[in-house]
Every structure is written in C-alpha cells, then in structure tokens.
Amino acid sequence: MVSSSNVSTPHPSFSEYTFPSHRLRALQDGNKTPLVLVACGSFSPITHMHLRMFEMAVDHVKQGMSDFEVVGGYLSPVSDRYNKAGLASAAHRVRMCELACDETSDWLMVDPWEAVQPEYQPTAVVLDHVSHEINHNLGGIPYPPLSPPHPPANLLTVPSSATATPRKPARVMLLGGSDLLQTMSQPGVWSQSDLNHILGTHGLFIIERSGSGISDALAPLKEWSDAMGKNWMENIHVVRQLIANDISSTRIRQFLRQGMSVQYLLPNVVIEYIRERGLYKEVEGFKESRASSMPPLRREV
C-alpha cells in the first residue's frame, strides 16, 4: 500500500516534464490495434468511479471490439486555468491521482502535461499530445511478430537490426462519463472542429450513468456528423454500467465540508492525503455549472 505521509506535494513544472510510459503494455496479439484510453477531468478529488471507468472500458473492448487491445490508460488532470469551483491546485490533484494509481492499479498512469500548462488546453490537443508521445517519440507499441518457420540449419544469422521488436501505432481514445457526452451535444459548448477531431480521428468511450439520456445526447451529434459528411457514431462507444456507481467528486467535496465520512468512496491513500493537507474544507466560492468529470471546453477563436 502506498502512503501519503512524508511525501511532499510536488510543484508541477513544464521544464521537468517527462511523459510517463513505464506501465504501457506490449501488444499481445499482433493482429489487433493497440488502444490507449485517456480520461481528462478535474479529479478534485479522484474517486473510485474515475478508476472504475477504465476497467469497464477494458471489459467492453474485450467483449465487443475484437480488433482492439487496451495497452495503457492515462488520467490527465486539468490545469489551474480551468477556473472551476472546488478545484484544488494542480499539484494536489496530480499527486492524488498518482497515489491512487500506484495503490490500486498496475497499468494506469497520470500524465501531468495538461496540468503544468500555463494556459488551458482543449481536450483535442491533449489527445494529440498523448498520441504524439506514444506513436512518434516512443515509436508505437511493441508487439510479438508471427512466429517464422524454422530456418535451414546452414542459414546465416540475420543481423540484429532486422530482428528488432516491431511496433504498431496506438489509437488514443477519450474516456468519460455520460455528462461529458451531454456537454458535447449542447450547441456552442464545444467547437465543431474539436468535436470532429475527437470523434473522427480519436474516438470516445462513454460510461453510462443512471438517469442519463444517452439517446437524446447522441441525436444532435449524429445530425452534425451527417451534415459534415462524417460518421462520428462509429467512434462513440457506450459502456453500460452493470452495477450502478454514481460517486462524484462534487458530492465527495460536500461530504468533506460537512465532516462526513468518505471511507470506501476514495482510495485510502487519497483520503489520507486530503486529511493531512486539510483540503476541501472551504465553502466553494461559486456554484458549479459544469460536471466534475467534464474536460476543458471549446477552444477560444
């Protein structure tokens, strides 16, 4: 178990940034496309629901998307320029996400790139960043080549450069809750260019929440997609919740301000971190108008 005691709060710095890749997995089936999931959000604080979303998406891929294999997952906390009620500093949110991933997962990672930016970054830009780091800087995801037939005994040894592990480019997709889909369907919230890039180039996994109108949210997106001659719908994957889980960061902050227990709603190491640093005790300065899992909005033009 990871402990938050005697761990100082880091100060995110762009000059010290290194893309985390230590938990990326090699592709097991060379015939499939490696898939990397990215969740953008406030994570103030991170909850078990945020972590659970990744596991549900993995099950969805295994059961219904035979062409893909999940090889990695990233949480990308928004920067302090997001200007959202209840937003703890980027340093605290990044550290809580790191502690949660270290304690609960062997494959999830935290990418602090978005959090350390001096200006707010649209979600489309964040997805492009992750894709560039993995596919350009790392050269893609390694995968085992098909076993060649046994060579003749007198065949010369193949040079090592020719036997290097092959790599495949990864597909990077956005992961979020149904409230994210609802914001995308509201005119003027997201720019059409960003929506087209996210839903056309990358893709979207949506975790259904109880009481959410998935069909109503999909309708305007289909209309806009058809008007542009695109097919966004094939890149939107709705993941049904078999066990309802509506834990939200907003409700967690309310509990903390009221002195109520949040045990079993957050990873223990995150609860300890919040307690030691006295986070979320202040009354939030203004009413929240955006859902806790919602990523940055449209790019200003």
Considering the domain boundaries, does residue 4 fall inside one?
Answer: no
CATH code for the domain of 98: 3.40.50.620
The pLDDT profile of the chain, 301 residues, written as one tens digit per residue, is 555 544 455 555 567 899 999 999 999 999 999 999 999 999 999 999 999 999 999 999 999 999 999 999 999 999 999 877 779 999 999 999 999 999 999 999 999 999 999 999 999 999 999 999 999 999 999 998 655 545 544 444 444 444 578 999 999 999 999 999 999 999 999 999 999 999 999 999 999 976 667 989 999 999 999 999 999 999 999 999 889 888 999 999 999 999 999 999 999 999 999 999 999 998 665 444 443 334 444 433 2
Considering the domain boundaries, does residue 229 fall inside one?
Answer: yes
- What is the distance between the alpha carbons of residues 239 and 212, in angstroms, rounded to a whole number? 13
Cis status, amide bond into 45, omega within 30 of 0: yes
Range of the domain at 258: 25-145+166-277
Query: Considering the entire predicted model, what is its pTM?
Result: 0.86
Considering the domain boundaries, does residue 40 fall inside one?
Answer: yes
Considering the domain boundaries, does residue 15 fall inside one?
Answer: no
Considering the domain boundaries, does residue 113 fall inside one?
Answer: yes
- What is the distance between the alpha carbons of residues 72 and 74, in angstroms, rounded to a whole number? 7
Q: Burial letters for 187-224: b for 16+ Cβ neighbours within 10 Å, e otherwise?
A: eeebbeebbbbbbeebbbbbbbbeebebeebbeebeeb
Selection from 189, 200, 207, 205 nearest residue 232 by Cα: 200
Q: How many domains does the chain have?
A: 1
